[in-house]
Amino acid sequence: MRSTDETPVTVLSGSLGAGKTTLLNHLLRNAGERTIAVLVNDMGELNVDAELVSEQSDLSVADGTVAELSNGCICCELRDDLETAVVRLARERDFDHLVVEPSGISDPAPVARLFTGGSPAAARYRVESVVAVVDARLFADTFDADGTPSKTVAEGGEEGTRPISDLLVEQVEFADAVVLNKCDLVSDAERERVESVVKALRPGADIIPATYAEVDADELLGVQRFDPQSAAEAAGWRRMLDAAEREDAAEADAEGAEGGHDGHDHGDHSGHDHDGHSHPQAAYGVDSFTYRRRRPFHPGRVAELLSDLPESVIRSKGSMWVAGREETHLTYSQAGPSAYVEGSGRWIASLPDFEQDAYRRNRSDLGFEWDDEWGDRRTGLVFIGREMDEEGLVAALDDCLLTDEEMAADWDAFESENPFPDSPGDRTTLAEPTPEG
């Protein structure tokens, strides 16, 4: 019997074939005195994973201890079904722990958010941990600078495919525990390299090496790791970017207090990471840096650069200010061979004055300096990679900024043939894996 009114939940994510169903069955067989219920999601009409769980444990789809959601993805079109299923489980069954296994192409973030506020499920459950099961061999190959495989997975509910590098990165970046499975298929050096990349993508996550998904149940169950307040900010790129912007704002405040700042910052920061300590992952050749500027990119030049980054760049993400898109806040995301830019909202400075004032009053600490001329328009990018040529990449990015002459010219010219989205929600693909032949 559980000791509180909230049943702990483990969200078990992982790419197809990583071993998450094997891990789940291992946990069920070695759960001790815990009573576990399971919800399994499969994209096909036949829920193969649910049957595997039933076959290899005392749980049963027929008696309700295994709930199955098939032919859809619970992070998008089956979310209502997910909520109904977990509420029904709590009402009809008596158990100590719920394990939710999304399909191999699901984003775990929206699944976890279902349990964290404002829904009937949130009143009955609490997320204890979000676990990502990583295939060490696949991860090593996917982010190997000597040759990135061109693998994709089908997107749930939509036409087309999605690069597997995107999926691997998103699952790791949101996890508070990473089971590094199939360690028998990689060398010690490869495993160290994979661990270093995981640490860079998600600092602070517990990394648990495994073979055949054999993990002590007490390492995953009964450990409160998930924090709903900070989960979205825990990714390595977000931590770096937030720290860099806080540092910039503090420096600007100090200069303002001394009377030496004119309120116009056009972006002559070095772009380097100045957090004052070395990164442990650098010992394995994985390092990171931030690039921050208060001058817009030329759309053509930056699109060309970001569509063909060096293979040494494993992950890069952040905000972009592009000439000709003065109203649209652009978010850039790259993982391995995949890169895209998405319209993620409006720049505050593009809103009517009364909306700007209201936003700034409600957000007294914006985390960055407000520029008198350009407002919140700025670029802040984080690059994570292995043996990157940081100086060369910073110089190439700087070459993509508008020159003084272009800044003074008519910007209407940047509207035509601009490849970037001009509305929130729109997306431009800059790079994608070459289809396997």
- What CATH number is given to the structural domain containing 72? 3.40.50.300
- Give the pLDDT of residue 342: 92
Instruction: Specify whether the CB–CB gap between 43 and 156 falls below 8 A.
Output: yes
**Per-residue confidence (pLDDT) for residue 321, from 0 to 100:** 96
CB contact at 8 A, 286 and 196: yes
Q: Do residues 193 and 260 share a domain?
A: no
Phi, psi dihedral angles at 254 (to 5 degrees): -65, -40
The reply to whether 11 and 98 lie within a common domain is: yes
Same domain for 75 and 184, yes or no, is yes
Number of domains in the chain: 2
Q: Are residues 103 and 249 in the same domain?
A: no
Q: Maximum Cα–Cα distance for the chain, whole Å?
A: 73
290 shares its domain with 179: no
Give me the pLDDT at residue 256, please.
Answer: 56
pLDDT computed for residue 266 by the predictor: 43
Q: Which segments within 115-223 are labelled E, that is strand?
A: 125-135, 152-154, 161-163, 177-181, 206-209
Same-domain status, 264 and 283:
yes
pLDDT in tens, the chain (437 residues): 334 578 899 999 888 788 888 898 888 888 888 888 888 765 333 233 444 443 444 443 334 444 444 333 333 334 567 778 788 887 877 888 988 887 666 678 888 888 887 778 788 889 999 999 999 998 888 776 443 444 444 444 343 455 666 777 888 888 999 999 999 999 999 999 899 889 888 888 999 999 999 999 999 999 999 988 776 677 777 777 777 766 666 665 665 555 554 434 444 443 334 333 334 444 446 788 999 999 999 999 999 999 999 988 988 989 999 999 999 999 998 888 889 999 989 999 999 988 888 877 777 666 667 888 899 999 999 998 888 999 999 999 999 999 999 999 988 888 877 999 999 889 999 988 765 53
**Could you give the residue ranges of the DSSP H alpha helices within 144-211?**
164-174, 188-201
- Which of 189, 212, 231 lies at the terminal end of a domain, its last residue? 231
Do 206 and 320 lie in one domain? The reply is no
- Examine the domain organization and report whether 365 and 246 are in the same domain: yes
Domain contains 437: no
Identify whether 1 is part of a domain.
Answer: no
Three-class DSSP category at 425: coil
Is 23 a domain residue?
A: yes
Quote the pLDDT of residue 293. 94
Tell me, what DSSP letter sits at residue 61?
T
Domain end call among 231, 253, 285: 231
| Residue 151: half-sphere exposure toward Cβ, Cα within 13 Å | 16
Residue closest to 87 by CA, chosen among 39, 28, 24: 39
Distance CA 322, CA 331 (A): 11
- The boundaries of the domain holding residue 44 are 7-231
Bridge pairing between strands 427-431 and 125-135: unpaired
Q: Is residue 194 part of a domain?
A: yes
276, 375: one domain: yes
Q: Check which CATH number belongs to the domain holding 409 and give it.
A: 3.30.1220.10
Reduced to 3 states (helix: H, G, I; strand: E, B; else coil), residue 356 is helix
Relative to beta strand 379-386, strand 286-293 is antiparallel
**Distance set, CA 416 to CA 300, 310, 420 (Å):** 11, 28, 11
Assess if residue 41 is contained within a domain. yes
In a domain, 65, yes or no: yes
Last residue of a domain, one of 173, 207, 231: 231
Indicate whether 2 belongs to any domain.
no
- Report the alpha-carbon distance of residue 369 to residue 377 in Å, rounded: 10
Tell me the C-alpha distance between 90 and 412, whole Å. 58
- Beta bridge partners, 290, equal 382
d(C-alpha 94, C-alpha 36), whole Å = 9
Q: Which residue has the tokens 């009955």?
A: 124
61 and 13, same structural domain?
yes
Tokens of 80: 């209502």
**193 and 226 share one domain:** yes
Residues 379 and 269 in one domain: yes
